[in-house]
Structure 1
């Protein structure tokens, strides 16, 4: 499997961790080999996540206050640990005695990547937990990485990403998407018969042309009787639509949201003051705390868009 993935990436000249995790089940050993390949080949990564441009705007920003306060307390705790870690920047060999300390040292990476990959429908703190498992796994390769490079963070970061994406993929396995897939296919077929182009259908249904092609490839030339009896076809339909859903669930945070939280809580190179954040991001100082609180509000949302629609009368919100 790894040979096929490597060859495909070599041909394209770039790669997407999201696509690779969605389409494959890589062992940790295979993933480590893949990381070595992209690192040594200096192959660029292409992110495929849909940016979080206020997909959901809470009118009652205290609606998820309990979840928000839990997240905030956790991030404050991480910030305190980071203050200690920044005082100990020397490279250290990993041993049984200092393993816990090393996990804490790299915990900020797990938290940072959980922020960057935080999507509607997935609990932020659950993702941190999975990302931390990724960090722990990466530390098993610490000696091998150290022999290859001093850029340890690259490998640790991407193991955290692997575990986050596998967690999201696992959650979506429970979604029965096959029926939706076939309904969408029938709708596409009707629209085509009415003379609409693929581009028009794509815009009207808010789905990609690539997804349309995959559905047509799967369902075209399949008789209805055969479809009813074939679990294999619906299994493929499930996979196609689950992957499409995962790729197109918007991120909770915008770029500014991410940067403010990463800088304020010291999840990158240092802990930034509000003055430094304002200057770096070219925003007014008095807006830093306001935007930080709004970002934490977004991070606390733990629902998908359709769940918001279903519970419309129970909460005050706007779906863009």
Structure 2
């Protein structure tokens, strides 16, 4: 299996972890060998995840306040750990084996932000990413001996575990939820100026099906339940490969960068003034945008949740 994956990458001259994980079940040892090949050959990665956009609007942004507070508390804890790590690096102190998780935890959390997608809990994602980090650390001394660049390997082990987790959940996803994700992708692409024909070609889906899907869910905010078995049965037949790659991300570029900088998930912990300067945004908007990013991150809702909570939440798709 591994040899086939490597041969395919050689032919294409590029790779996508989302496609690799969706199509293959690689052990950690096989994945490590794959990473060695990619790193040594300097093969470029193509990330196919859809960038986040404000296509989800919550009129009551405090609806997920408990989830948001838990996420915020977790990220604050990570920030304090990173503060200690940066201080230790500054003082050129070495890290013991049992301190390596704290040393590289920011890598797992950063990738959790990058791969936080609609329909998946961020806290679940970061847990899987951390497990991936721990698995990657099993190869730490081999990495340091031969490559001297652990972050590439540890980052991608985190990504592997995130994608495998998402893949597993998608196998059990209900047709209603699956079709609703397709609907959100359709609305997002339309907002970006793509025609129905272009979208259907990209999805390899009949345009009439997309029209039916759009009509169905455009009415959802006025209905307590939805019954269209034909739509749902067809949605179930959409390939999981497409879904894994195209579920929209919760966060846009600015959202991600603000959280990465504020919580020290890159090279240092940035002040709000530094964030404003680096991202070319007004200083007084930094905290507002940070809170909005946390709001987006806390959304953990698929269509079944929407139907269940429709009386309590005004949930709109722009």
Task: Please give the TM-score of this superposition, normalised by the length of structure 2.
Answer: 0.80
Structure 1 residue aligned with 2:42: 42
Q: Does 1:82 align with 2:82?
A: yes
Contact 2:113 2:256 in 1 (8 A): yes
RMSD: 2.4
Contact 2:18 2:244 in 1 (8 A): no
Superposition map of 1:197-208 within 5 A: 203=196, 206-208=199-201
Please identify, of 160-169 and 304-313, the stretch whose mean Cα deviation from structure 2 is larger. 304-313
Structure 1 portions without partners, runs of 5+: 185-201, 214-236
What secondary structure sits across from 1:318 in the alignment?
A: strand
Partners of 2:284 and 2:276 lie apart in 1 by: 9
Shift of 1:244: 1.9
Q: Does 1:63 align with 2:63?
A: yes
Partners of 2:32 and 2:278 lie apart in 1 by: 35
Contact 1:177 1:242 in 2 (8 A): no
Structure 2 residue aligned with 1:31: 31
Please identify, of 49-58 and 28-37, the stretch whose mean Cα deviation from structure 2 is larger. 49-58
Partners of 1:77 and 1:7 lie apart in 2 by: 43
Q: Does 1:283 align with 2:281?
A: yes
Partners of 2:160 and 2:201 lie apart in 1 by: 25
Shift of 1:91: 7.9
Partners of 1:91 and 1:51 lie apart in 2 by: 38
Q: How many residues align structurally?
A: 273
Contact 1:135 1:157 in 2 (8 A): yes
Change beyond 3 A, Cα 1:313–1:128: same
Change beyond 3 A, Cα 1:23–1:296: same
Shift of 1:243: 2.3
Superposition map of 1:1-320 within 5 A: 1-89=1-89, 90=92, 92=94, 98-175=96-173, 203=196, 206-209=199-202, 211-212=204-205, 241-304=239-302, 307-308=305-306, 311-320=309-318
CA deviations 1:84-110 (Å, max 9, x no partner) are 0001224857xxxx3331111111111
Change beyond 3 A, Cα 1:41–1:91: farther
Shift of 1:238: 5.9
Partners of 2:101 and 2:63 lie apart in 1 by: 34
Partners of 1:55 and 1:47 lie apart in 2 by: 21
Task: Please give the TM-score of this superposition, normalised by the length of structure 1.
Answer: 0.79
